[in-house]
Chain A
Amino acid sequence: MSDANQKFKAWWLLSPTLLLYSLTFLLPVLLLVVMSFAKFENSVTEFGFYLGNYRKVFGDGITLLIFWRTVKLSVYITVACVVLGFPVAMVMRRAGPRGRLWLLFFIVSPLLTSIIVRNVAWVLILGRSGIINDTLREWGLIASPLPLMYNSFGVVLAVVHVYMSFMVLPIYGALQAINPSTEEAAASLGASPLRVFWFVTLPQSLPGLAAGCTLVFILSMGVYLTPVIMGGNFVVTLPMLITDVVRNQYNWPTASAMSLMLLVAIGAMVLVSSVVQKFGGRH
């Protein structure tokens, strides 16, 4: 009885958060659902129960394609963040307090600069007359400039740059929680450094890795401005499409259906990740 009472009290503490979330998240989502069944014809929105928006999203032959390309792009970004971020987290773990602070600063610094400044900087580095192309040309290594931006490569690079910290910090946290003696034990039992990593360090850092992947993947699914600038608009993501539908077609209903599609995909990813974190740690 008193246990149940305790639980009830704990729930009470959540009420401000719940209220905030119902106002800023649940209500808008509900609105989105209602809107997604409205009919948009001749520039006019009519509420009702109309499935045309979903028919369009799944049947127009392009929205789904863009959705899958967004997923693919997010997977690339996530994988790149893992490949580049894991070593950084490892170095951070080994580094002294000062080195760790510097690394942290470098990893987080993109978040402190505006997206415009960042992307202009990328143009100066990757552009046709950017630092890389100019240098390579001066050294006579290339005849014509390499296409380093206005394609998926540029988008992935620029997004990875920003979202790296969302990968590095959870992995670092998981690595910090690993008892270094387990790695030494593995070494003394005959494991080479690579095998120590594979059999001992990596499995123990899985919860952090899963959390990092979830964060980066979800953020990447919403990436919107960077493809416009770094991808020269050739790399189209679902959020870009949604914005276009709202801004240039004023079509809230179709945009709502698309948004729900994105929301469901992200929800599915969170679900998968929580399952991995639950069972991965126990492996």
Chain B
Amino acid sequence: MIKQLSISRRRALKTTAAAAGALATPYFFVKAHAASDPKVLRLYNFDGTLGDFYTEHWYNPFRDKFDMKLEFIRLKGSRVPLEKVQAQIGAGQPETDLFPLHPDQLIFAKRNNLAMEIPRSAIPEYDNVYDEFISDYGPCLVLWSYGLAYDTEAVSPAPTSWKALWDPAYAGRVALNEALKDQTLQMVNLAFKGQLYPVDDETFSHLSDIRPNLVALWSSGADAEQLFRNNEIVMTPFWNGRVTKLKSEGLPLEFVVPDEGFFVRCSVYGIPRNARNPEMALEWLNFVCGHDPQKRMVEFGYGTPNKLVEHTPEQAKAVIVADPEVVKKAVAEDFTHILDNNAAWTDMWNKWKAS
């Protein structure tokens, strides 16, 4: 994710160039390049272990089954640069045939007509997927939980509330999430108001209270991981997937679902408008919704929308969302509200940081 930022600057430049191209390049020039090969599928892949997982269990088996050629664009982190993809779609040619969209990105995509609508009938495997994970633009595929991660050697007793982050015992040993500041702000509200909205002055007064505890605001999972590894912090709101990975590497970390509630998000895998090979993209969506790829996902530590996949007790604990009791604690985020208030929240957030 650190690297993602460095890329994204170049990407921003490229986007400008792409937009310039969109204005300057005659239409037919773009069209000439859009000639598509039905045996080629263009995809984003993530870096790190999740990317390796995809390659092994979601991409290669599909490639072998359909005798395809896959072309990857590697992302640093998990966020597709939608601001760039928008320009590409406008110019008539997105760089991939599929894109994972975070919930707020999905709404943005909807508003700007960036994704193809996918009727339920187009994906037979939908029969085995829970309804709440099927959107008009594709299935919700990567389920991740956002709770509290802490260092078991430095924090005791085990925290049960988000408010533990405010504990003066951890002065200078806590970090918050800058990358998804909307989630951070909702978390503050959840801890002190018992509800997610509105984000207002009161929210920020609680943030000011936590200031003595804060070392840094991290902007990527890799950042947060480094903070733990370098013994800079003992506690931060975090994703379950990375905690599972760090635990397996021997770090004394634990993930808890606080009493006030926690966050579950998933990414919709959609097909960009003007994609070159939508037929095979649909085929791939159908393939990954199936039992085998989803079973692998659970083994890897992420939740699944597939009804048929069964969990061992250890798996259930790791993926968090397998336990209905725990799932009840998941809060219902209003992503339209988040998207529309992002600018205002960012201003308030920056003012808070500057104060």
Contact = CB atoms under 8 A, between A and B. Distances in A.
Direct chain A–B contact by Cβ atoms under 8 Å: yes
Interface string A68-82: 010000000000000
Interface of A is mostly: helix
Contacts of B215: 128, 150, 232
Interface string A218-258: 00000011001100111010010101111111111010000
Nearest to A241: B350
Contacts of A128: 172, 215, 230-232
B47 to A, nearest CB: 12
Given A250-B83, A251-B343, A43 B350 contact: no
B2 A127 contact: no
A186 to B, nearest CB: 47
Contacts of B6: 115-116, 225
B178 interface: yes
Nearest to A228: B219
Interface residues of B, number: 48
Nearest to A235: B353
Interface in B332-349: 339-340, 342-343, 346-347
Given A31-B19, A65-B354, A243 B83 contact: no
A236 B107 contact: no
Contacts of A248: 342, 346
Contact of B5 (A234, A236, A243, A245): A243
B254 interface: no
Nearest to A116: B2
B219 A233 contact: yes
A236 B355 CA distance: 12
B230 A150 contact: no
A124 B354 CA distance: 27
Given A28-B16, A43-B339, A150 B216 contact: yes
Contacts of B8: 243, 247
Interface residues of A, number: 49
Interface string B310-343: 0000000000000000000000000000011011
Given A128-B230, A250-B108, A251-B343, A62 B83 contact: no
Nearest to B171: A144
Interface in B105-138: 107-108, 111-112
Given A116-B6, A233-B216, 8 more contacts: A24-B17, A28-B16, A31-B23, A123-B232, A127-B230, A232-B215, A234-B217, A248-B342
8 nearest CB pairs, A to B? A232-B216, A233-B217, A43-B111, A233-B178, A129-B231, A150-B216, A28-B16, A250-B83
Interface of A: 24, 27-28, 31-32, 35, 42-44, 60-62, 65-66, 69, 115-116, 119-120, 123-124, 127-130, 144, 147, 150, 224-225, 228-229, 232-234, 236, 239, 241, 243-252, 254
18 contacts: A43-B108, A60-B347, A61-B351, A123-B232, A124-B230, A127-B230, A127-B232, A147-B172, A150-B215, A228-B219, A232-B217, A234-B216, A236-B350, A243-B5, A247-B8, A247-B79, A248-B342, A250-B86
